[in-house]
Amino acid sequence: MKAVNRRAALSLGLAATSAVLVAADAAAQQIPTAGGNEVAPGVHRVEHGKRESMIPGYKSVSMVDIVYQPKAKLASGNPMPNDMVCHSPEGELRVKQSEGMEFVAKPGDLWTCKKGILEETENIGAGVAIMRIINLLPA
């Protein structure tokens, strides 16, 4: 076995410390599974921010997580106020849209909602489910 000098030991120590800091930062950026405002029993809305858009026809965009506890449901009694892009980062959601579309969104799935449709969502998995929404907000 090769002997390790002080310079090599210091380099190895710095590399290990950097790995710990990167891992800690990644852990700090986890998806929220609680908090925000309760919008239905077991369903919370967590706002992430809003900013101007450079997409023609949209003045701004915002990002929101809808966090569903197991078996929680959210039925939209009002039409969608704007176009949206939705993503499922965690869990399994049954999605029913008023235009006859129904599917189960699993982690990594992506779908869209257009202004004016109705949507009902339900967590059908055993753990927390999250629907991340990018709102495309018109001028």
Sign of CA dihedral 36, 39, 40, 45: negative
- 77 lies in which domain range? 37-137
Report DSSP letters for the chain, one per residue.
Answer: -----HHHHHHHHHHHHHHHHHHHHHHHTPPP-S-SEEEETTEEEEEEEEEE--STT-SEEEEEEEEE-TT-EEE--S--SSEEEEEEEES-EEEEETTS-EEEE-TT-EEEE-TT--EEEEE-SSS-EEEEEEEEE--
State the total domains in the chain: 2
pLDDT digits 0-9 by tens, 94-117: 999 987 899 999 999 999 999 999
Say what the pTM is: 0.75
pLDDT at 23 over 60: no
Domain co-membership, 26 together with 41: no
Name every residue whose Cβ is closer than 8 Å to that of residue 1 and which is 6 or more positions away in sequence.
none
Domain co-membership, 18 together with 74: no
Domain co-membership, 86 together with 62: yes
Domain co-membership, 69 together with 132: yes
Domain co-membership, 24 together with 43: no
pLDDT at 4 over 70: no
Domain co-membership, 45 together with 100: yes
Domain co-membership, 44 together with 96: yes
pLDDT at 89 over 50: yes
Domain co-membership, 3 together with 65: no
